[in-house]
Chains A and B, each alone.
Chain A
Amino acid sequence: MVTEAGSGHPGGSLSSADIVTALFFHTMNHRPDEPKWPDRDRFILSKGHCAPVLYAALARSGYFPVCDLLNLRKIDCHLQGHPDMNKTRGVEISSGSLGQGLSVSVGMALAMRLDGLPGQIFTLMGDGESQEGEVWEAVMAGAHYKLSNLTAIVDANGLQIDGFTRDVMNVEPLPAKFEAFGWTAKAIDGHDMAQTVEVLDWSRSVDGPVAIIAKTVKGKGVSFMENQAGWHGKAPTVKEAEQAIMELRGEAVPGSETPAEGETVGG
């Protein structure tokens, strides 16, 4: 998809692919044939540059044809470089300017509470994104309003554009920060599907807002992308994409000595 587009953000899409998969295909109640179903759970992609993983999940859920994915970022395609709620079916908010999604989520959660709606909001953020001061204004508000219908997930892949998050501007310890603001925080391995699913489900039952700090690997599943800042926002070539897809499928890559890495949990 990103190869066809010629630009885009594979690294952070892959680090959150397991989390997004768990949400769309296990945790969330949603109706692809009725995107505005009032009782649905909502997925908010605050780190809008990871649109590819959202679009893939939406397409595979049936919100729009999978073949649309190949027109990502092309002129006149509804799949914009960053999500647009007025263009793409199933996209809950427009995002791309980092740091705003949790604030929007707080507003949505309050509106849903006023209307007595049962849905849970799952908001996915980046660890680099958490450097925005607005994130912490929203965290404060989430606790203040005791938003039990709000679950924030931080894709803690340790990288941002200019390098490792700890080198650019350290955001850790994230769980302690959320707790200090009055949230229930839980650190998980964001590639351990059983744990991810369990904690996402559990977050619904907690009184007050929950933050899940998911330790992940940026570029997860593609050997040459893993933990590389350079793959934040770069499109793979056709050859690289072929290798990436084979590795992600767990197939042996022809001509390479090392067999593709399996989904070794904790990787």
Chain B
Amino acid sequence: MAAELKPRATREAYGEALLELGKRHDNVVALDADLAGSTKSGQFAKAFPERFFNVGVAEANMMAMAAGFAIGGKVPYASTFAVFATGRAYDQVRQSIAQPRLPVRVCASHGGLTVGEDGCTHQSIEDIGLMRLLPNMKVVVPADFNQTYGAVLESYKTEGPMYIRTGRPKTPFLYPEPPATLGRGADVLREGSDISLLACGIMVVRALEAAEELKKRDISAEVVNVSIIKPIDVDTVAASLAKTGCAVTAEEHSIIGGLGDAVQEVAAEYCPVRIGRLGIKDVFGKSGTPDQLLEEFHLTTEHMVGLAEQVLASGK
């Protein structure tokens, strides 16, 4: 872990990387729906006002407009909160972006419960699932500031549509500097032999902590940061499952449709092993501080340790 760096939110990395892309490439345009300050697209807006389009509170219009920009040869980055980017504008993302396979980057901030006090209306717990369901859509959930920064820079060259989820809270650094590429999107951050902990987003740091805790209990946990949820790196995930023989997945998302399901699908086809899914158990969120919510919805290091022990106890 790059512990010496002060935690920073992944949405801030989006803002800085977008600004950098604007400097490097004239055909990058950005859109936002009255949340430029929160999603951090505002930095780009300030530097390149002629290439920034704030459509107002009109997410559906924004997504279809982004499709139009892509058809016109631009590389559009469209940002708003995850709940609105996916839920509110789902049909526009589906029909105008995903199906025609247009290079629109849907960059959604405020993923998950850690939105906090705004409550369930603003907490996106199903966005990864919604985006994963769309053919052609690449789904990326970076784990820290640097990985987000690298992912956004790399996205410029990516073909086809892409969904990038960032978060509101400050998050510890895991990568000492922005990686040049996400690669195939599954980084083994720690090797282990008894159980695999496959996590994404803010849960990766908790998976590393859980592995440390499990070590004290003589359990060797492997930690894999799965930053590309789709297309998932089948080889790395299956290899880890084969090596350890069981797993826990962890995500700030519903246990239905997200990373947990993606890993289960790999397991079912290539390496059937027991898997425990740590995630939101098919309920909506509520108001509270991010830490209180992570505790209440069982998304802490301790809960991950507990689930790992449970999975191990039930036999491989």
Q: Which size class do B's interface residues fall under?
A: 20 to 34
Q: CB distance B58 to A75 under 8 Å?
A: no
Q: Which residues of A contact B57 (CB under 8 A)?
A: 98-99, 128-129, 131-132, 160, 169
Q: How far is the CA of A191 from the CA of B116 in the complex (A)?
A: 33
Give bound CA distance, A99 to B87, whole Å. Answer: 13
Set B56, B87, B121, B293: member contacting A75, Cβ < 8 A: B293
In whole angstroms, what is the CA distance A6 to B290 when docked?
13
Q: Is B83 an interface residue (CB 8 A)?
A: yes
- CB contact under 8 A between A75 and B296, given known A160-B57, A162-B35: yes
Instruction: Please tell me if the beta carbons of A81 and B54 are within 8 angstroms of each other in the complex.
Output: no
State the Cβ distance, B232 to closest chain A Cβ, in Å.
30
How far apart are the CA atoms of A170 and B57 in the complex, in Å? 11
CA distance A122 to B55 in the complex (A): 28
Interface residues of A in 26-83 (CB under 8 A from B): 48, 73-77, 79-82
B280 at the interface (CB under 8 A from A): no
Interface residues on A, range: 20 to 34
Whether the pair B287, A77 counts as a contact (CB closer than 8 A) is: yes
Measured CB to CB, the nearest residue on chain B to A171 is: B56
Do the beta carbons of A168 and B54 come within 8 Å of each other? Answer: yes
Mark interface residues in B103-130 (1 if CB within 8 Å of A CB, else 0).
0000000000000111111100000000
A3 CB to closest chain B CB (Å) equals: 13
- Asked, given contacts A98-B57, A99-B57, whether A161 binds B35 with beta carbons under 8 Å apart, the answer is yes
B residues near A161, Cβ cutoff 8 Å: 34-35, 37-38
Closest partner residue, chain A, to B81 (CB atom): A97
Chain B positions within 8 Å of A79 at CB level: 287
Q: Most chain-A Cβ atoms within 10 A of its Cβ — which of B55, B56, B87?
A: B56
- CB of A82 within 8 A of CB of B122, answer yes
B60 contacts the other chain (Cβ, under 8 Å)? yes
Could you tell me the distance between the alpha carbons of A242 and B118 in the complex, rounded to whole angstroms?
24
The residue from A76, A129, A133, A171 contacting B60, defined by CB atoms under 8 A apart? A133
B272-316 vs A: 1/0 string, CB under 8 Å? Answer: 000000000000001111001100100000000000000000000
Known contacts being A96-B122, A132-B58, is A81 close to B287, with CB within 8 Å?
A: yes
A89-147: which have CB < 8 Å to B? 94-99, 128-129, 131-133
Question: Who on chain B is nearest to A49 by CB?
Answer: B118
Give the chain B neighbours of A162 by CB distance below 8 A.
Answer: 32, 34-37, 42, 54
Give the nearest-CB partner of A8 in chain B: B117
Whole-angstrom distance between the alpha carbons of A46 and B36 in the complex? 22
Majority secondary structure, A binding face: loop
The answer to whether A82 touches B118, judged by C-beta atoms less than 8 angstroms apart, is: yes
Minimum C-beta distance from B64 to chain A (A)? 10
- Name the B residues within 8 Å of A74 (CB-CB): 287-288
Whether A5 sits at the interface, judged by CB under 8 Å, is yes
Shortest C-beta distance, B231 to chain A (Å), equals 30
Q: Is the CB of A97 within 8 A of B56?
A: no
A48 touches B121 (CB 8 A): yes
Q: What distance in Å separates the Cβ of A87 from its nearest Cβ neighbour in chain B?
A: 8
- Which A residues are CB-close (under 8 A) to B293? 75
Residues 168-209 of A, flagged 1 when their CB comes within 8 A of B and 0 if not, give 110100000000000000000000000000000000000000
Cβ B119 vs Cβ A133 within 8 A: no
Which A residues are CB-close (under 8 A) to B95?
none
Contact with B116, one of A7, A82, A99 (Cβ below 8 angstroms): A7
Q: Is B158 an interface residue (CB 8 A)?
A: no
Query: Roughly how many angstroms separate A161 CA and B42 CA in the complex, as a whole number?
Result: 12
CB of B61 within 8 A of CB of A75, answer no
Q: Is B215 an interface residue (CB 8 A)?
A: no
- Is residue A84 within 8 Å, beta carbon to beta carbon, of the partner chain? yes
Contact yes or no, B119 A73, CB < 8 A: yes
Give the Cβ gap from B140 to chain A, nearest Cβ, in Å: 24
Q: Which A residue sits closest to B295, measured CB to CB?
A: A75
Hey, which chain B residues are within 8 Å of A97, CB to CB? 83-84, 87-88, 121
- CB-CB under 8 A from A76, the residues of chain B are 288
Taking a contact as CB atoms closer than 8 A, the residue among A6, A8, A133 that contacts B58 in the complex is A133
The answer to whether A81 touches B119, judged by C-beta atoms less than 8 angstroms apart, is: yes
- In the complex, the answer to whether A128 meets B121 with C-beta atoms within 8 Å is no
Question: Quick one: which of B56, B120, B289 contacts A168, CB cutoff 8 A?
Answer: B56
Residues in A with CB closer than 8 Å to B84 are: 97
Which residues of A sit under 8 angstroms from B116, Cβ to Cβ? 7
Query: Do A94 and B121 form a contact, CB below 8 Å, given A75-B293, A80-B286?
Result: yes
Inter-chain contact A81/B56, CB cutoff 8 Å: no
Given A74-B288, A161-B34, A169-B54 contact (CB < 8 Å): yes
Are the C-beta atoms of A128 and B117 separated by less than 8 Å? Answer: no
Could you write out 10 A-B pairs with CB less than 8 Å apart? A7-B117, A75-B287, A79-B287, A81-B287, A82-B122, A84-B119, A96-B122, A131-B55, A169-B34, A169-B57
Query: Footprint of B on A, CB under 8 Å?
Result: 5-8, 48, 73-77, 79-82, 84, 94-99, 128-129, 131-133, 160-162, 165, 168-169, 171
Q: A82-B120, A131-B34 are in contact. List 14 more A-B contacts (CB 8 A).
A: A7-B117, A7-B118, A8-B117, A73-B117, A76-B288, A77-B287, A80-B287, A82-B119, A82-B121, A96-B121, A160-B57, A162-B34, A168-B56, A169-B55
